[in-house]
């Protein structure tokens, strides 16, 4: 870690098995372009390669124990593996401790559910992947249908690709609009969706909820406390 002198502040991206890699790589690619003050890194329970929800495996740079006080935390999401990560007490304990001193605690997609399961979004305005909004509410946060939501030191982004927009916003806040626009240009982030925008009026945000509710008792077999919080009538 010779590239990381003590006077640098860390932007810690949290990696866990089975996540959606675009949730992590989108904002990492944006925030890695930060000025010399902040230093991006990827942390996990171990530094072994981890599976994702694609055939690609990702490797963290350091363990949670190696980095207790990042300046910025980014928690990516995913599908059922993210619900497993919500039940991981090692991740929870690290997050609760690191969040207490961090300047910014960000999430992408269902990463917000990991923050909420750790008790960090209680009573806060937040967002998550559209299909998981009920879980977020059941864990005590107030769901907003927005691309990203800021509440105090917490910034939560909507599903997967929303992490790119959130990270550009964060860059602007941390380093100024010119830096953010420079990063946007470097990444040529000027989208042209071949089939237009999402037609939200046709989307049923409750479509996955019944299936989720039926799976969770198995996913959280050893965490009845968490199950009780989420399995409300």
Least distance CB 225 / a second copy (angstroms): 30
Residue 63 near a second copy by CB under 8 A? no
159 contributes a contact to a second copy by CB under 8 A: yes
* Residue 109 designated active-site: yes
DSSP string, 132-180: GHHHHHHTT-EE--SSEEEETTEEEE-STTHHHHHHHHHHHHHH-HHHH
**83-91, 165-173, 209-217, 220-228 -> range binding a second copy (CB under 8 A):** 165-173
- Dihedral sign for Cα 104, 109, 114, 117, please: positive
Considering only residues 35, 37, 57, 65, which one is a binding residue for a second copy as defined by CB under 8 A?
57
Among residues 109, 113, 170, 174, which one is catalytic? Answer: 109
Residue with tokens 């989108």: 26
**Is 121 one of the binding residues for a second copy (CB under 8 A)?**
no
Per CB under 8 A, the list member of 14, 19, 40, 105 interacting with a second copy is: 40
CA distance 128 to 139: 12
Q: Which range touches a second copy (CB under 8 A), out of 63-71, 91-99, 163-171, 212-220?
A: 163-171
Which helix or strand (DSSP H or E) is residue 38 part of? strand 38-44
Give the residue, chosen from 68, 96, 177, 221, that forms a contact with a second copy under the rule CB under 8 A: 177
Q: Which two tokens stand for residue 84?
A: 């497993």
Q: Which residues contact 100 (CB under 8 A, 6 or more apart)?
A: none
- Residue 147 in the binding site for a second copy (CB under 8 A): yes
For residues 115 and 96, give the distance between their C-alpha atoms in angstroms, rounded to a whole number.
8
Q: Which of the stretches 35-43, 66-74, 80-88, 95-103 binds a second copy when contact is defined by CB under 8 A?
A: 35-43
- Nearest CA-CA partner of 126 in 148, 105, 104, 95: 148
**Inter-residue contact 61 to 42 (CB < 8 Å):** yes
Residue 198 is a binding residue for a second copy (CB under 8 A): yes
Q: From CA 70, how far away is CA 53, in angstroms rounded?
A: 26
**By CB under 8 A, residue 67 contacts a second copy:** no
If one asks whether residue 210 binds a second copy (CB under 8 A), the answer comes out as no
- Residue 132 CA to residue 208 CA, distance in Å, equals 8
The span of 24-32, 135-143, 214-222, 224-232 binding a second copy (CB under 8 A) equals 24-32
CB of 59 to a second copy, least distance (A): 4
Residues with catalytic function: 109
Write out the residues near a second copy by the rule CB under 8 A.
Answer: 13, 20-22, 24-26, 28-29, 32, 40-42, 49, 53-59, 61, 109, 129-130, 147, 158-162, 164-165, 168-169, 172, 177, 180-181, 184-195, 197-198, 200, 203
């Amino acid at each position: 870690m010779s590239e990381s002198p003590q006077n640098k502040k860390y932007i810690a991206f949290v990696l866990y098995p089975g996540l959606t890699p675009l949730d992590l790589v989108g904002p990492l690619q944006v925030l890695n372009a930060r000025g010399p003050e902040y230093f991006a890194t990827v942390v996990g329970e171990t530094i072994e390669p981890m599976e994702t929800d694609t055939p690609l495996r990702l490797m963290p740079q350091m363990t949670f124990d190696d980095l207790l006080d990042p300046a910025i935390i980014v928690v990516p999401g995913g599908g059922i593996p993210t619900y497993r990560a919500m039940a991981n007490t090692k991740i929870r304990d690290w997050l609760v401790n690191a969040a207490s001193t961090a300047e910014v605690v960000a999430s992408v997609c269902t990463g917000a559910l990991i923050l909420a399961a750790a008790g960090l979004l209680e009573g806060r305005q937040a967002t998550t992947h559209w299909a998981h909004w009920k879980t977020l509410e059941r864990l005590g946060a107030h769901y907003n249908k927005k691309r990203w939501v800021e509440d105090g030191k917490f910034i939560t982004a909507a599903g997967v690709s929303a992490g790119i927009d959130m990270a550009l916003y964060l860059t602007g806040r941390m380093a100024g609009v010119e830096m953010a626009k420079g990063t946007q240009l470097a990444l040529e982030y000027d989208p042209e969706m071949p089939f237009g925008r999402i037609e939200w009026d046709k989307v049923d945000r409750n479509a996955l909820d019944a299936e989720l509710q039926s799976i969770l008792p198995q996913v959280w077999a050893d965490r009845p406390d968490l199950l009780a919080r989420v399995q409300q009538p």
